[in-house]
Structure 1
């Protein structure tokens, strides 16, 4: 089932599943962005974010191995590359639902063992590399939060969207009345009052 959209010289084929239905677009047209979210989950995520601290995250499991790249003999003899793994279930205890739901879309997600796995070998010491892994995890969680949790809509915006919704409803009702009267005139059923 493909829909054909013709332009000046080419034909493009778009699968029907990628085309948003008009009724879905129309119903969501006049509402603030955060109106489609569960308000309790939004409040939980926003409250969590205000008190978020990197030390609240679990430590994870760290393995050390030999690093590669520059560093000479020191790199070849010591195991300074840190690979830290956080099981998703363990992270779920310290994250709100909206952030946790998007955790599996992270670039650090490892599907094989259902965990977040981060490596670092930029520093010469194990502890510095391990700390950098924790910092990367905190940055990734912050990025996921910003992508998935919308900001607070102001009362002004909510009123604006409500006014737009009412105006669209009135315009639609007027159009229906106009078309109805036009149709009744065609039938010859004019009602003079």
Structure 2
């Protein structure tokens, strides 16, 4: 059992959790968006500004009997909606910065490489289908918020550039001081 769990742990790639990402960002000495491609950031921000749930692909919806209370209506109708969006189809309507994060979504189905969402709260098929589309939109916005940093102001960019410059200067100054100490110890510092 123990060997099986180790093998399983080695086969699954580590998933970055949002709280770990936020913690890591706090200790950086540069602007958070400095590590991103500016074109990808611009594309993602443009997508967010013009985001509309209606432009997302419709997906493939199937219906089945829902469970839980509802009496005869539940027994007679198939109102539970399961909508599947293949990642290839869904990725076409998303910015490239969000596409890799789809596989870490709670709705991701590894078996068929797709996003699969179910709804059965409403008594009608169309309402449950609409719920699925709303859940997809909410998940995409959550991924956007987690992955795409807010725009950094010019002040902050200048601040981090100044910090980077002073850090570099301090490091060089310390190196020169250390090398002068070593030179002094070797006798090169004495002039007779």
- Length-normalised TM-score, structure 1: 0.82
Secondary structure, counterpart of 1:98 in structure 2:
coil
Aligned mates of 2:57, 2:175 — CA distance in 1: 59
Give the aligned partner of residue 149 of structure 2: 150
Aligned mates of 1:191, 1:40 — CA distance in 2: 56
Q: CA deviation at 1:31?
A: 2.2
Runs of 4+ in structure 1 displaced over 6 angstroms? none
Q: CA deviation at 1:191?
A: 5.5
Give the aligned partner of residue 36 of structure 1: 35
Q: Give the direction of change, closer, same or farther, for the CA distance of 1:103–1:165 in structure 2 (3 Å limit).
A: same
Secondary structure, counterpart of 2:83 in structure 1:
strand
Give the aligned partner of residue 74 of structure 2: 75
Give the aligned partner of residue 44 of structure 2: 45
Q: Give the direction of change, closer, same or farther, for the CA distance of 1:45–1:191 in structure 2 (3 Å limit).
A: farther
8 Å contact kept, 1:30–1:162: no
Aligned mates of 1:140, 1:29 — CA distance in 2: 27
Aligned mates of 2:71, 2:55 — CA distance in 1: 37
Aligned mates of 2:106, 2:188 — CA distance in 1: 66
8 Å contact kept, 1:83–1:118: yes
Give the aligned partner of residue 130 of structure 1: 129
Q: CA deviation at 1:162?
A: 0.7
Deviations 1:61-114 (A, max 9, x none): 111100000111111111100000111111111111011121111110111111
Aligned mates of 2:172, 2:58 — CA distance in 1: 59
Deviations 1:135-165 (A, max 9, x none): 0000000001111111111111111101111
5+ residue gaps in structure 2?
1-13, 15-23
Give the aligned partner of residue 189 of structure 1: 188
Aligned mates of 2:95, 2:56 — CA distance in 1: 12
Give the aligned partner of residue 12 of structure 1: none
**RMSD of aligned residue pairs (Cα, Å):** 1.7
Q: Tell me, yes or no, if structure 1 residue 101 matches structure 2 residue 100.
A: yes
Secondary structure, counterpart of 1:83 in structure 2:
strand
8 Å contact kept, 1:45–1:149: yes
5+ residue gaps in structure 1?
1-17, 19-24
- Report which of the two has the higher share of strand: 1
Deviations 1:20-45 (A, max 9, x none): xxxxx9xx953211111111111001
Aligned mates of 1:96, 1:164 — CA distance in 2: 32
